[in-house]
Amino acid sequence: MNTQRILSHFHESAELKLQSAPLLAQPISQAIELMFSALSNGNKILACGNGGSAADCQHFAAELVGRFERERFPLPAMALTTDTSIMTAVGNDYSYREIFSKQVQAFGQAGDVLLAISTSGNSANVLAAVEVALEREMRVVALTGKDGGEIAKMLTDADVNICVPHTRTARIQEVHLVTIHCICDGIDVALFGGDVNE
């Protein structure tokens, strides 16, 4: 394979991250504050998304329940993408659109945060989860791309939309990953202060 094509992936990914940084730094900071406040008040974070975004949800929950870069107590986070029995039962008995919203109804409480990940901002099952979260007086942190889609239109001033300014799914997901790492680091710093290497 032509190595130039491989190099172009690296260059495009790096360029988008650098372009996105000044645009996304403030909403990422707001997301950290929102999540830290929820965790500090005994609330939890639920996360949902499809495909690669489902993997990002699981990655995020693993970093909070386990650890990111420093030893600490487990933090309450749950990926709604992992229980195949719930997802297939709800998908079969109701609809695929409800596989996350039913779980938000079951587990979400006022003061919790929903991390809703959709590169298009239009995933029907993520939209349904956001709708239920808002009804339950949860706050929403959305990781989207393109123009933020329908999710961006649903959010209130108390919610946060971290929208990657790109149209290509792979590139959006790459920025979502570094965003997740920024959030995990920010939560740890808010909890303990300083730097992990200090």
Q: Tell me: the pLDDT tens digits for 155-185?
A: 999 999 999 999 999 999 999 999 999 999 9
Q: Is 122 annotated as a binding residue?
A: no
- Total-model pTM: 0.95
195 has pLDDT over 70: no
Q: Is 166 a known ligand-binding residue?
A: no
How high is the pLDDT of residue 194? 67
123 marked as binding residue:
yes
Q: Is 8 a known ligand-binding residue?
A: no
**Which residue's entry shows tokens 């030893």?**
71
Known binding residue 40? Answer is: no
Q: How many residues does the chain have?
A: 198
If you search the block for the tokens 């942190």, which residue do you land on?
Answer: 141
Q: Which CATH superfamily is domain 20-192 in?
A: Glucose-6-phosphate isomerase like protein; domain 1 (3.40.50.10490)
Whole-number Å distance between alpha carbons of 63 and 182: 11
Is position 9 annotated in a ligand binding site?
Answer: no
167 vs 37: CA distance, rounded Å: 32
Contacts of 192 (CB under 8 A, 6+ apart): 70, 72
Mean pLDDT over 97-119 rounds to: 98
Give the model confidence (pLDDT) of 12-61 as tens digits. 999 999 999 999 999 999 999 999 999 999 999 999 999 999 999 999 99
Take residue 64 and report the two structure tokens written for it.
Answer: 């909070």
Going from N- to C-terminal start, the domains of the chain cover 20-192
Mean pLDDT of all residues belonging to the chain? 96
**What are the tens digits of pLDDT across the range 115-158?**
999 999 999 999 999 999 999 999 999 999 999 999 999 999 99
Q: Is 101 annotated as a binding residue?
A: no
